[in-house]
């Protein structure tokens, strides 16, 4: 059984390597893969589904499954397919080019000759029912989005199919379309700065792991080969069922199987999990080795505690654009009292209002969390993560009147800080919270 599992795994890996080696745009067929690589269609189908989950292939209407350029969180470029989805449009021609990325978009609100000076390969021309502009844009290597619900001529559709450049149509006007795409691109720029587990992994590398039918002797052999002292344990379908460490096998007989020694159902993350979420998991659960799995809990990689926490240190230093936290804190400044203690002042604006015209409880909570993080930094604590927070709202906070936020640290441990936070307006306490922050620095606080 163990030999059969290893054989099946080898075929699976060979199929994935074959899919990754295909040029972008190649149609991928289960039947053809099975015939060319000498495997069953069921084996080829499973490999193709995993390749789709990992982002190497995608299903396209009327074309089937095709090899695509694998998207990672570091890319802020939209594909034409994503634009089509954003504007809720319909495709008129050039289906084979939907996976191409666009570098910029051009509004066709000028004379034709002037318009074409800005249209080149990788552009998206957003224009109304100007058929000549559609044709010239395609000839210049650009995609076209026709606004107002209009279509285009049949020869233009044929040209789009021949060049592999999408021409699309949507019911929105040009200004609305430009706003929708711009907002999507800005959100993508923020997302690319949010580091995910996939950014830490080489998903093409072989993952050191053991089957649950392996023995303590197999563990010791793999440990000597890799220098590692912990491994994920998988079943015959490569699903993670446990984690085993050197401590687990220390006193075990050489032929003792790992299913009797391993820690069962370990915490796991997916490639799309944010690094911050993975870090919280290793801190709260005391995890040293974190398996990375797909949607069916099949193993695709591993990360250790130090890798995750060091990545978090890097991630929190990267600007993330105008997120909600950044917008809430933008009107506040850091000050010092006569004794050198830090406090924060600012004036709430109309965007912070709740249903009753005063500052919302959610905004107040965010302000106190931001003040706590800055206080922790002032104490030399690196990358604190909020562990728990108990908040009391005492009175309403008015808009456009100065607010003072003070923090009082009453317990400072090696890996945590406990503090009381007070929000005051017009000399009266409006909100108060007790908060505990945990260190994410692997070298200690």
User: What residues does each domain of the chain span?
Assistant: 2-67, 80-192, 198-315, 324-439
Q: What CATH number was assigned to the domain covering residues 80-192?
A: 3.40.1390.20
Question: Among candidates 343, 395, 384, which has minimal Cα distance to 367?
Answer: 343
The predicted structure's pLDDT at residue 156 = 95
H/E run at residue 67: strand 64-67
Instruction: Tell me the pLDDT tens digit for each residue of 116-131.
Output: 888 988 899 999 999 9
- 3-class SS of residue 81: helix
Cβ(389)–Cβ(365) below 8 Å: yes
Residues 6 or more apart whose CB falls under 8 angstroms from that of 224 comprise: none
Buried b or exposed e, range 241-267, using 16+ CB within 10 angstroms: bbbbbeebbeebeeeeebbebbeeebe
Whether the model pTM is above 0.75? no
State which fold the 324-439 domain adopts.
Thiol Ester Dehydrase; Chain A (3.10.129)
The predicted structure's pLDDT at residue 440 = 63
In CATH, 2-67 is 1.10.10.10? yes
Question: Among candidates 104, 99, 87, 98, which has minimal Cα distance to 146?
Answer: 87
Locate 41 and state its tokens. Answer: 């269609």
H/E run at residue 174: helix 174-192
H/E run at residue 147: none
Instruction: Tell me the pLDDT tens digit for each residue of 256-315.
Output: 999 999 999 899 998 888 887 888 788 778 888 999 998 888 998 999 888 887 777 665
Instruction: Tell me the pLDDT tens digit for each residue of 45-95.
Output: 888 887 877 778 877 655 678 787 655 444 457 889 889 988 989 999 999
Locate 30 and state its tokens. Answer: 């289960």
CA–CA distance, 177 with 148 (Å, rounded to integer): 10
Locate 164 and state its tokens. Answer: 């592999």
Locate 402 and state its tokens. Answer: 């100065």
Unique residue bearing structure tokens 């666009």: 102
CA–CA distance, 393 with 202 (Å, rounded to integer): 47
The predicted structure's pLDDT at residue 189 = 62
Cβ(103)–Cβ(146) below 8 Å: no
C-alpha 243, offset from chain centre: 25
CA–CA distance, 412 with 445 (Å, rounded to integer): 10
Cβ(184)–Cβ(85) below 8 Å: no
CA–CA distance, 268 with 215 (Å, rounded to integer): 23
Give, for all 445 residues of the chain, the pLDDT tens digit: 444 444 344 577 788 888 888 887 788 888 889 888 888 888 888 888 878 777 788 776 556 787 876 554 444 578 898 899 889 899 999 998 888 888 888 888 888 888 888 898 889 999 999 999 999 999 999 999 999 999 999 999 999 999 999 999 999 998 888 888 877 776 766 566 667 888 788 766 788 999 999 999 999 999 999 889 999 999 988 999 999 999 999 989 999 999 999 999 899 998 888 887 888 788 778 888 999 998 888 998 999 888 887 777 665 554 445 567 777 888 899 999 888 889 999 999 888 888 888 999 999 999 999 999 889 888 877 667 788 899 999 899 998 899 999 999 999 887 788 999 999 999 999 999 999 987 665 444 4
Q: What CATH number was assigned to the domain covering residues 198-315?
A: 3.10.580.10
The predicted structure's pLDDT at residue 204 = 66
CA–CA distance, 426 with 38 (Å, rounded to integer): 78
CA–CA distance, 80 with 84 (Å, rounded to integer): 6
């Amino acid at each position: 059984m163990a030999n059969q599992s290893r054989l099946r795994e080898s075929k699976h890996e060979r199929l994935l390597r074959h899919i990754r080696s295909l040029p972008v745009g190649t149609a991928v067929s289960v039947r053809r893969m099975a015939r060319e690589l000498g495997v069953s269609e069921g084996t080829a189908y499973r490999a193709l589904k995993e390749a789709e989950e990992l982002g190497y292939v995608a299903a396209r209407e009327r074309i089937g499954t095709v090899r695509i350029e694998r998207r990672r969180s570091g890319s802020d470029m939209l594909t034409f397919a994503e634009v089509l989805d954003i504007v809720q449009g319909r495709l008129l021609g050039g289906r084979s080019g939907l996976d191409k990325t666009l570098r910029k978009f051009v509004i066709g609100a000028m004379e034709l000759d002037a318009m074409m000076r800005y249209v080149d390969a990788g552009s998206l021309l957003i224009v109304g029912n100007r058929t000549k502009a559609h044709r010239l844009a395609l000839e210049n290597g650009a995609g076209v989005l026709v606004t107002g619900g209009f279509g285009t001529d049949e020869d233009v559709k044929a040209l789009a199919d021949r060049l592999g450049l999408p021409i699309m149509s949507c019911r929105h006007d040009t200004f609305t379309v430009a706003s929708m795409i711009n907002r999507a691109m800005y959100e993508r720029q923020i997302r690319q700065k949010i580091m995910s587990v996939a950014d830490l992994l080489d998903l093409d590398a072989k993952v050191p792991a053991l089957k649950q039918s392996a023995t303590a002797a197999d563990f010791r052999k793999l440990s000597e080969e890799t220098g590692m002292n912990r491994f994920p344990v998988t079943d015959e379908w490569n699903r993670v069922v446990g984690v085993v460490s050197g401590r687990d096998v220390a006193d075990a007989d050489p032929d003792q199987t790992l299913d009797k020694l391993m820690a069962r159902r370990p915490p796991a993350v997916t490639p799309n999990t944010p690094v911050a979420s993975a870090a919280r998991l290793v801190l709260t659960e005391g995890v040293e080795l974190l398996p990375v799995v797909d949607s069916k809990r099949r193993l695709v990689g591993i990360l250790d505690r130090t890798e995750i926490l060091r990545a978090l240190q890097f991630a929190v230093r990267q600007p993330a654009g105008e997120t909600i936290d950044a917008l809430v804190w933008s009107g506040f400044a850091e000050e010092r009292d006569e004794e050198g203690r830090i406090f924060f002042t600012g004036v709430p604006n109309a965007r912070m209002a709740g249903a009753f015209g005063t500052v919302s409880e959610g905004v107040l909570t965010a302000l106190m969390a931001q003040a706590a993080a800055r206080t922790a930094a002032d104490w030399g604590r690196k990358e604190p993560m909020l562990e728990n927070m108990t908040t009391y709202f005492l009175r309403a906070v008015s808009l456009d009147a100065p607010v003072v936020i003070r923090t009082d640290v009453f317990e400072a441990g090696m890996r945590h800080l406990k503090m009381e936070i007070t929000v005051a307006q017009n000399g009266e306490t409006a909100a108060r919270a007790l908060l505990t922050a945990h260190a994410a620095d692997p070298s200690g606080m």
